[in-house]
Amino acid sequence: MRIGLVIYGTLETLSGGYLYDRELVKYLESCGDQVEMVSIPWRNYPQHLTDNLSRSTYQRLAGLQVDILLQDELNHPSLFLTNSRLKKRQETPIIAIVHHLRSSEEHPFGRKMLYRAVEKSYLQTVDGFVFNSHTTREVVESLIGDNKNSVVSFPAGDRIASDLTTRQIQTRASRDGPLQVLFLGNVIARKGLHVLLDALGGIPKDQWQLSVVGSLEMDQDYTDQVMYRVSSKGLMDSIEFLGPLDEHELEQVMESSQLMVMPSSYEGFGIAYLEGMSFGLPAIASTAGGAAEIITHGEDGFLVPPNVPSKLREHLMEIISDRELLAKMSLAALERFQCHPTWENTSRRTRNFLQSWLNQVDGS
């Protein structure tokens, strides 16, 4: 197959969505498919809307010699009008990879309505969807209906190999000292680090230690707010900001951690939770979005309402005070990971879906 893939910036961008796209491209190329990348420069939302008026963007997409045009749905503000023009000129199927909708995130009402309108317009221009979760599919179908072909291809968590044994995981859980908490995500408001800080701020500092892994440069204003919160609460000695790590460094941090907490206001899926589970880390996530498709509340983690630090604190205290519960949940988390598809499984499922579009064309 000859496939075009439209993204913002570079495929090496650090986020779960870009990881998903990278793994798919790697698999497609390993199968002998040709993938041509189309990069649209990162800009702000209003500027992305003007991309629809760009002759160069349109001409580049229209000139692609591909069987299928894949688009990361993140690019929707740049494509909602461009796609309509493309479809008048050619019959190449346009398939969107949907991680989660921008309009599902928390925004002021007026901005949220704008995002919803633009996103709905974009979704109506594509021919089919690759969804990362049933939750994401349900959100899209509630917006435009269910009359388009789609596949749910779950993200995987086997990017980083863990060789921890069940005995090692149990021993780690019962280790004396403060609870080793891991936050794995870029420091942006949606990931909820401020909620975690408020929750931990109500727990004695000698009972926990937090490692924050992720970029501090995605939203400098928010990062500044986080640093002020840490300083004003006197938490500097209990928190380590590690920045983005390579896979070997991340492996070491996850091996030494005991619990993953990322109380996002919304996640379409949440690859970080699954990667933590591969190391036997129970996860605490929010009820908003698709985390419930990974985490079973009270068994391999907890699900808490978004933006409610007091509820998060309750579960942190529960884990801190009951290391036998932590050990039980840690083994359950590992078992949950072991039942989940691998990146190869996921990418094969997506490739089969894409191949089915070519079969339709050949048979028409």
200 and 312 within one domain: yes
What pLDDT does residue 361 have? 56
Asked if 16 and 134 sit in the same domain, the reply is yes
Q: Give CA separation, 31 vs 7, 18, 67, 224, 234, in Å.
A: 21, 20, 15, 45, 53
Q: What range defines the domain where residue 127 resides?
A: 2-156+342-359
Measured in whole angstroms, the distance separating CA 334 from the mean position of its chain's CA atoms is: 20
CA distance 13 to 8: 9
The CATH number that applies at residue 114 is 3.40.50.2000
347 and 334 within one domain: no
Tell whether 9 and 140 lie within a shared domain. yes
Question: Are residues 119 and 40 part of one domain?
Answer: yes
In a domain, 296, yes or no: yes
In a domain, 44, yes or no: yes
Q: What are phi and psi of 330, to 5 degrees?
A: -65, -45
Question: Do 354 and 311 share a structural domain?
Answer: no
**Do 97 and 204 lie in a common domain?**
no
Q: Are residues 245 and 271 in the same domain?
A: yes
Task: Read off the amino acid at residue 40.
Answer: I
Give a yes or no: residue 70 inside a domain. Answer: yes
Number of separate domains in the chain: 2
pLDDT score recorded for residue 362: 56
The closest alpha carbon to 339, from 297, 298, 296, belongs to: 296
Same-domain status, 227 and 177: yes
Q: Are 274 and 348 members of one domain?
A: no
202 belongs to a structural domain: yes
Angle between helices 309-321 and 323-338 (to 10 degrees): 100
SS (H, E, C) 293-353: HCCCECCCEEEECCCCHHHHHHHHHHHHHCHHHHHHHHHHHHHHHHCCCCHHHHHHHHHHH
Asked if 97 and 69 touch (Cβ cutoff 8 Å), the reply is no
Let me know whether 178 and 326 are in one domain. yes
Residue ranges for the chain with pLDDT beneath 50: 364
Question: Quick one: 348 and 232 in the same domain?
Answer: no
161 in a structural domain: no
In contact, 152 and 137? CB cutoff 8 Å: yes
Q: Decide if 364 is inside a domain.
A: no
- What integer pLDDT is reported at residue 171 of this predicted model? 96
